[in-house]
C-alpha cells in the first residue's frame, strides 16, 4: 500500500505545483524562447522541474528518509535542483553546471555508498574494482547519464516519456528483488513524471528545464547503479540497456561534432529527434518512434536481467549499430519519408473524415457516460469489508459534490477530479484486497471484459473528439496504456501479485473516463455528478450491508 500512496502523493503534489511555478516563471521571465534550433514557436515556462523536485521529495521525506542512501540522494538532488533553478532563471555555463553535477555525484558516492564495484563476468572470477577505480568510473557514469537525459529533452514529452519507462522498470525490479527503499524512490519519480507529462505532452504548456532533466538523469543513474550493485542476481550491466537510448544519442552527437571539428558542448540540431523531424515525421510521430526504441531496450533488459554481461553488451552493440545504420540510410534519401499523398497521409485523412462525421464518437461517448456509473457501482459493491474511517470519507466526498452543485457549479470539474483521484484508487484496492464472494468465476471475468470495452471506448472518444479544447489522447496516454498492458501480462510469483496489473489498469481507466466526460460535457455535468454522489452515499453504507 505504501507504493500506491507514494505514487499518488507525488503525482498530486506535482500536478498542484506546476501551475504555481508556471506563474512564477512568467513573472521572473524564466521562459524558453523559440529560436532556429528549437521546435516550439512561443515562449514556454521552464519551471516544471522545480515542481518535480518537490513532488519526489515530499513522499520520500514522509515514508522513506531513514537510510544513508535516501538521505544522500535527497541532499544530492537538492544540490542539482539549486543549480538547475539558477540555470533556468538566470543561465549558467556548462562548466558551472558540471560542477554541480560532480558535487551531487560525489555526495551519493561518498555518503550513499553507491559505487560501480562489480562488472560481473566482464572481469575474471567476479573481480571487484577497488575504490580508486570504482569511484572515478561511477562519477563518470553519473555525470554522463545526467547530461545524456538532459540532452534528449528536445521535444514535448520526450525526456519525460523515456524516463517514465526507465523508472517504472527500476521500480518493478526493485520490488521484485526486495529492494524496497530503491523501489519507493523510483515510484515517487514515476509519480512526478505522471503529473508533469499532463502539462508537457505535445503541445506543451510547461518545460521541465535543466532542473527536471538533470534530476531525472541523475536519479536514473543513481537508482540503476544502486539496484544492480546491491548483491542481488541482477546483471551489473543492466543500466546500459535501461539507459541505452539517451547514452547512444549523446555519444553519437558528440562524435559527430568532434568529427566536424566543433566543440562537443556547442548546441545544434543533430540529435536523433531532429533527424526524425527532417525526415518528415510530425512532432508526436517522432516522439513515438523514440518511445518504441526505448521500449525495445526496456523489454530486452527485463528479459536478460539475469543473463551474462557479455550477452547484454553484445545486444546493446547490435541495437546501437542497427539504429545508427537505419538512421543513416533514412537520412541519405533524397526525399522525406512522410510526404503529401503518401500512405500515412491517406490514413490520416480517413481518420479525420471519421472524426468530422461524428457517428463513432456519439456511440462510444454514450458507452463511457453510462458505463462509468455502472462500473463505479460494481467497484463500490465488490469490497466485503471497509476500514472504519472510509464511510466518513465517502460521506465527506458526497458532501463536497453536493455543496459544489448547489452553491458553486463552476467548481464541479475541480471537485469531481479531486474526490475521484483521491478515493477511487483505494476503492479499487479494497475490492482487490477483500472481494465479495459473488465476484468469483464468471462474474469476475465478465467484469474485466466490461472494463476492456470501456477502456477502448474512452480512447476512441478522446481521439475522435471534435472539441477544440478539452481532454485529448496523446502519446503519453498511449505510453501509459502500454505500460499498463505490460503490468497485466507480467506473470505472478511470490513477490508480484498478479492482480496488481489489473488494479493499476482499472485506476487509470477511471481517471481517463472522468477526464473525457468532463472535457466533453463541461457545463453539463449534472448526470455524472449525480452518479458519483450516489456511489459515495452507497459506499458509506457498505459496512451495514455486509
Q: What is the Cα–Cα distance from 292 to 479, expressed in whole angstroms?
A: 9
Nearest to 259 by CA among 268, 28, 321: 268
- DSSP E strands in 339-405: the ranges are none
- Averaged in consecutive runs of 10 residues, what is the pLDDT profile of the chain (546 residues)? 76 83 76 60 76 89 80 92 85 84 93 88 82 91 90 79 90 86 90 81 74 91 91 87 90 83 72 78 79 89 89 92 86 57 56 58 73 78 74 85 84 80 77 70 72 72 57 56 54 47 70 71 70 82 59
Q: What is the Cα–Cα distance from 327 to 249, expressed in whole angstroms?
A: 11
| Backbone dihedral angles phi then psi of residue 527, each to the nearest 5 degrees | -65, -45
Between CA 261 and CA 269, with CA 265 as vertex, the angle to 5 degrees is 80
> Hey, what's the cell of 83?
543549480
> Hey, what's the cell of 116?
560501480
State the sign of the Cα–Cα–Cα–Cα dihedral 80, 84, 87, 89.
negative
Residues with Cβ < 8 Å from 327, sequence gap 6 or more? 272, 275
How far, in Å, are 378, 386, 425, 428, 499 from residue 504 at the CA level?
17, 20, 8, 9, 9
> Hey, what's the cell of 212?
527536471
The strand pairing partners of 46, in sequence order, are 207
Neighbours of 58 (CB within 10 A): 20
At residue 485, the pLDDT reads: 54
Between CA 35 and CA 39, with CA 37 as vertex, the angle to 5 degrees is 80
pTM (predicted TM-score): 0.74
| Backbone dihedral angles phi then psi of residue 178, each to the nearest 5 degrees | 75, 15
Q: What is the Cα–Cα distance from 140 to 354, expressed in whole angstroms?
A: 52
The strand pairing partners of 383, in sequence order, are 435
Amino acid at each position: 500500500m505504501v507504493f500506491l500512496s507514494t505514487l499518488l502523493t507525488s503525482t498530486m503534489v506535482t500536478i498542484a505545483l506546476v501551475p504555481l511555478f508556471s506563474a512564477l516563471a512568467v513573472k521572473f521571465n524564466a521562459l524558453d524562447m523559440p529560436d532556429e534550433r528549437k521546435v516550439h514557436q512561443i515562449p514556454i515556462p521552464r519551471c516544471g522541474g522545480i515542481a518535480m523536485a518537490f513532488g519526489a521529495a515530499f513522499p520520500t521525506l514522509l515514508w522513506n528518509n531513514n537510510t544513508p542512501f535516501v538521505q544522500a540522494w535527497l541532499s544530492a538532488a537538492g544540490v542539482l535542483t539549486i543549480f538547475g533553478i539558477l540555470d533556468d532563471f538566470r543561465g549558467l555555463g556548462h562548466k558551472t553546471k558540471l560542477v554541480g553535477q560532480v558535487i551531487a555525484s560525489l555526495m551519493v558516492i561518498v555518503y550513499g555508498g553507491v559505487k560501480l564495484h562489480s562488472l560481473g563476468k566482464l572481469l575474471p572470477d567476479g573481480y571487484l574494482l577497488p575504490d580508486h577505480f570504482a569511484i572515478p568510473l561511477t562519477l563518470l557514469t553519473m555525470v554522463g547519464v545526467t547530461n545524456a537525459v538532459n540532452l534528449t529533452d528536445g521535444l514535448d514529452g520526450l525526456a519525460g516519456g523515456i524516463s517514465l519507462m526507465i523508472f517504472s522498470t527500476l521500480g518493478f525490479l526493485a520490488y521484485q528483488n526486495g529492494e524496497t527503499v530503491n523501489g519507493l524512490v523510483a515510484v515517487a519519480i514515476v509519480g512526478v513524471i505522471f503529473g508533469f507529462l499532463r502539462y508537457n505532452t505535445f503541445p506543451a504548456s510547461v518545460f521541465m528545464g535543466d532542473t527536471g532533466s538533470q534530476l531525472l538523469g541523475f536519479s536514473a543513474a543513481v537508482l540503476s547503479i544502486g539496484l544492480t550493485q546491491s548483491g542481488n542476481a541482477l546483471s551489473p550491466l543492466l543500466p546500459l540497456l535501461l539507459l541505452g537510448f539517451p547514452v547512444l544519442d549523446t555519444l553519437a552527437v558528440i562524435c559527430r561534432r568532434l568529427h566536424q571539428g566543433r566543440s562537443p558542448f556547442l548546441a545544434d540540431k543533430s540529435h536523433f529527434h531532429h533527424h526524425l523531424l527532417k525526415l518528415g515525421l510530425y512532432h508526436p510521430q517522432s516522439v513515438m518512434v523514440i518511445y518504441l526504441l526505448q521500449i525495445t531496450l526496456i523489454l530486452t533488459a527485463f528479459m536478460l536481467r539475469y543473463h551474462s554481461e557479455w550477452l547484454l553488451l553484445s545486444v546493446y552493440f547490435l541495437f546501437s549499430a542497427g539504429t545508427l545504420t537505419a538512421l543513416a540510410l533514412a537520412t541519405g534519401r533524397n526525399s522525406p519519408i512522410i510526404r503529401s499523398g503518401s500512405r500515412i497521409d491517406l490514413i490520416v485523412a480517413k481518420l479525420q473524415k471519421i472524426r468530422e462525421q461524428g457517428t463513432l464518437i456519439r456511440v462510444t461517448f454514450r458507452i463511457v457516460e453510462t458505463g462509468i456509473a455502472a462500473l463505479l457501482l460494481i467497484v463500490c459493491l465488490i469490497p466485503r469489508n471497509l476500514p472504519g474511517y472510509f464511510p466518513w470519507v465517502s460521506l465527506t466526498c458526497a458532501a463536497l459534490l453536493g455543496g459544489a452543485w448547489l452553491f458553486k457549479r463552476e467548481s464541479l470539474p475541480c471537485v469531481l477530479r479531486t474526490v475521484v483521484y483521491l478515493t477511487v484508487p483505494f476503492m479499487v484496492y479494497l475490492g482487490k484486497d477483500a472481494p465479495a464472494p459473488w465476484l468469483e468465476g464468471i462474474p469476475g471475468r465478465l467484469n474485466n471484459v466490461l472494463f476492456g470495452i470501456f477502456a477502448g471506448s474512452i480512447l476512441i472518444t478522446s481521439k475522435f473528439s471534435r472539441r477544440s479544447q478539452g481532454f485529448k489522447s496523446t502519446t503519453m496516454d498511449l505510453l501509459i496504456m502500454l505500460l499498463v498492458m505490460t503490468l497485466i501480462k507480467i506473470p505472478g510469483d511470490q513477490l508480484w501479485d498478479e492482480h496488481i496489473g489489473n488494479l493499476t489498469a482499472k485506476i487509470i481507466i477511471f481517471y481517463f473516463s472522468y477526464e473525457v466526460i468532463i472535457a466533453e460535457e463541461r457545463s453539463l455535468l449534472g448526470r455524472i455528478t449525480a452518479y458519483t454522489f450516489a456511489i459515495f452515499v452507497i459506499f458509506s453504507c457498505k459496512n451495514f450491508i455486509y
